[in-house]
Amino acid sequence: MSHLADTWTLTAQCPSRLGTVDVVTRFLKENGCYITEQQSFDDRLADRFFIRTEFTPQLTAFDAEAFEAAFADRAGEFEMVFELAAPGARIPVVIMVSRADHCLNDLLYRYRTGQLPIEIRAIVSNHPDLANLAEWHGIPYYHFPITPETKPEQEAQVAKVIEETGAELVILARYMQVLSSRMCEQLSGRAINIHHSLLPGFKGAKPYHQAYEKGVKLVGATAHYINDDLDEGPIITQAVESVSHADYPEDLVAKGRDIECLALARAVALHVERRVFLHARRTVIFER
C-alpha cells in the first residue's frame, strides 16, 4: 500500500468505553487533519479497544509535540495509551542470522528496493558464513561464536550491538540459537522470529524430511514475537502452501524457504507500519 509523503500514523488502545472512536476523529477534525485510513477493534472478551488512524494535516504547519500534548489531555479521560509516527519513519533494525541465508537475502532485497521502511544497522551471527553478503550491502557484520559455556558472554555482546545501534526491532532471520530467558525479556515486543509450521508438527533434525515420510499435504511458516516459550510467542503472520506426493524432500525444503521469506517480510512490514498491537499472549493486527 502506498502512502502520501505527509501521512502521519496515530495508534492507540484503551479500556472499552463509549466515545473511543469519537475522541480520535473529533480531535483530528478540530486540528485540521484529514483521515485517510482508519481501523478499529473492540475486544468484548477483554474489554479492550484498539484503533489505528492515518491522517494528513491540512494546515501548513504541523507541530507534532503540540499535537501529542493536546491529544494526551483528551486521551487521558479514556486511559488511552497512544503513539504518533511521523511520515517516512524508518525503524532501525538489527538482523540475527546463522548459516541459512534465504530470509536474510529477502529482507536485504526489500530493504534495498525500499519495500520495507527499515534501516538495517547491523547483522549479527554466530557463524562467519554471511559476512561477505553483509559487506556487499555495506552493513556492519558481527560474528559472535557461541557455545553452551559462552552463551551469557555472547548474548551480552549481542545486547551491546542492539543498544549501540539504537535498534528498535530485532529480526531473527533463521537464527538457530535459543535465546535465554533474560534476553527474551529484554527484547519483549520488539523481536520477531520465523520458523517452519508443518502439519503435523515435526521437531529436531530435518523436519521437512520427516514431513515427507509422513506424506504431509501442507507446509507453512509462522512469524511471531519471541518470548520465553520456544516458538510459542504471540503470532503475527502465518502462511501455508499445498504440497503433494510428487514433492520430494528437497522440494518441501525449497517451498518452505519461500514461505518463510514471505511470512517474515510480511510480519516485519506489519510491525514497522504500527499495525500490530500486543494483547496479552495474542496480537491484534490491522491488515494492510
- C-alpha distances in angstroms, 97 versus 2, 164, 252? 30, 19, 21
Q: Which residues contact 265 (CB under 8 A, 6 or more apart)?
A: 106, 107, 110, 115, 116
Closest CA to 274 of 4, 7, 11, 13: 11
Q: How far is 109 from 32, CA to CA, in rounded Å?
A: 38
Could you give the residue ranges of the DSSP H alpha helices within 145-248?
151-165, 181-186, 207-214
Q: How far is 197 from 192, CA to CA, in rounded Å?
A: 15
Among 42, 43, 231, 251, the active-site one is 231
C-alpha cell at 12: 492507540
Phi/psi region, residue 210 (left: phi>0; alpha: psi -120 to 50; beta: rest), is alpha
Q: Which helix (H) or strand (E) holds 256?
A: helix 249-272
Q: Which residues contact 195 (CB under 8 A, 6 or more apart)?
A: 221, 222, 231, 260
* Sign, Cα dihedral of 107, 113, 117, 122: positive
Annotated catalytic, 63?
Answer: no
Q: How far is 219 from 11, CA to CA, in rounded Å?
A: 34
Q: How far is 234 from 237, CA to CA, in rounded Å?
A: 10
Catalytic positions, written as ranges? 231
